Amino acid sequence: MQRLMPRIMLDFRDVVAAYGDTEILRRFNAVICQGEFVGLIGPNGTGKSTLLKCLSGLVPVKSGEIILEGKDNAKYSQRERAQMVAVVPQSFDIDYDFTVEDIVLMGRNPYLSYKVKECQRDYDVVTEAMHATKTLQLKKRLYNTLSGGEKQRVIIARAIAQEPDIILLDEPTSSLDIHHQIEVMELIRNLNLKKSMTVVAVLHDINLASRYCNRLILMKNGQVIVDGTPEQVITEENLKKIYDMKMFIQENKLFGKPEIIPLRVIKESEFYHSLKVHVICGGNNASQILEELDAMGHRVTAGVVNQGSDDWTVCDVLGIPLIEASPFTAISMEKQAENLELMKDCDVILISDLPFGHGNVNNLKGLEDLRGDIYFHTNCLNNDFTQGVLTQCLKNIKAKKALVEINSHQEFLEIIKKKTRIDKN
């Protein structure tokens, strides 16, 4: 049985758009098919909203063309286009006291004129749109008295009342709290799935885009950088081309989609003498201290760390040198020898907050012969599963040198800051 090709709804062909002499879109190319939920992501000023304005006829195309359902978009009248494409803006404010039903009824304007007034079918369409967006109970309320989330659902209802083939959304969740963000995105996804409505949405929240869109277009400087599924687009390699920040990416186990965890954008405001600091870690408790030490400009190393742990991931993202071992394997003395070699010139060694068992207690063997100051997180003693081996290792260290006990990573960080802060006065 021959598989039918999906219907092409939008075809952007080398689209160039400008405000005055400033080009915003630079030969933008993309094809969007019926039933897709496409998220446009990328930094501010990259042309995402301009692309929607070009499609809705608000901004003219300087060169190239947009093909809307098989016809040049520029050849449609505004009325014809509005019967195919509905726009949900970031916000919609109005000075007059319209009811919710009045606002949603505005979605029928493309089908009305001074000769053609609202009929029963128009009111039926409006009622169905309000029912789909759970705004029917608000129909007699004044629009300006609604909450932000309620207003956004009403505007989506207005868009549905247009009976469009395509809905364009320009940052539909930008002014909403997290509850209403999820509510609006679930509503849009349901429209996409149940009505096979094509959705193109400008989204700044990459994690929301990853969770709800089945396709993402990553843009920069008015061009497509990468176009594909969330798994294909949301990678460290792709995002580092766009965003000047430290981040790592992991799979959201609940939704099976990639999500980003931003680490840092703002640089440390103070300056510090650089120390060589080795962090003995390997679970998921040292991620923050590793990042903070790196941000302060210290030369950080780590190990022995099992591959795939959160601490290992942060080291990988930040480029922190480390000694690593395969997941779920015991730390061998051969690996610890490599670890000791990495630590031999360190100024400071931190035994971070992690559970110790027979699989990783070898990380502490031989530390007594190193020159660096050693700091020990005392919570390790509450997670000791070594039947006395951890205690013996600590005794061996204390027999030869001082072991400074700390109760938190923050306490350790304050000690290091005090020791290394540069007074610029």
**Tokens 């290992």 map to which residue?**
312
pLDDT score, position 266: 55
pLDDT score, position 175: 79
Q: Tens digits of per-residue pLDDT, 343-369?
A: 999 999 999 999 999 999 999 999 999
pLDDT score, position 268: 59
- What CA–CA distances, in Å, run from 116 to 29, 125, 159, 160, 188? 39, 16, 20, 20, 30
Q: Tens digits of per-residue pLDDT, 238-277?
A: 988 888 777 778 888 888 899 988 776 555 556 788 999 9
Q: Tens digits of per-residue pLDDT, 170-194?
A: 999 887 889 889 998 999 999 899 8
The three-state (H, E, C) secondary structure of the chain, written as one string? CCCCCCCEEEEEEEEEEEECCEEEEEEEEEEEECCCEEEEECCCCCCHHHHHHHHCCCCCCCEEEEEECCEEHHHCCHHHHHCCEEEECCCCCCCCCCEHHHHHHHHHHHHCCCCCCCCHHHHHHHHHHHHHCCCHHHCCCEHHHCCHHHHHHHHHHHHHHCCCCEEEEECCCCCCCHHHHHHHHHHHHHHHHHHCCEEEEECCCHHHHHHHCCEEEEEECCEEEEEECHHHHCCHHHHHCCCCCEEEEEEECCCCEEEEEEEECCCCCCCECCCEEEEECCCCCCHHHHHHHHHCCCEEEEEEEECCCHHHHHHHHHCCCEEEECCCCCCCHHHHHHHHHHHCCCCEEEECCCCECCCCHHHHCCHHHCCCEEEEEHHHHHHECCCCHHHHHHHHHHHHCCEEEECCHHHHHHHHHHHHECCCC
CB 350 within 8 A of CB 280: yes
The full set of domains in the chain, from first to last, is 1-84+166-187+198-263 (3.40.50.300), 96-163 (no CATH), 276-420 (3.40.50)
Calculate the average pLDDT of the chain: 91
β-pair partners for 131? none
Could you tell me the pLDDT band of residue 3, with boundaries at 50, 70 and 90?
low
Q: Inform me whether the pLDDT recorded for 289 exceeds 80.
A: yes
Could you tell me the pLDDT band of residue 95, with boundaries at 50, 70 and 90?
confident
For the entire predicted model, the pTM comes to 0.75
Which percentage of the chain shows pLDDT scores above 70?
A: 97
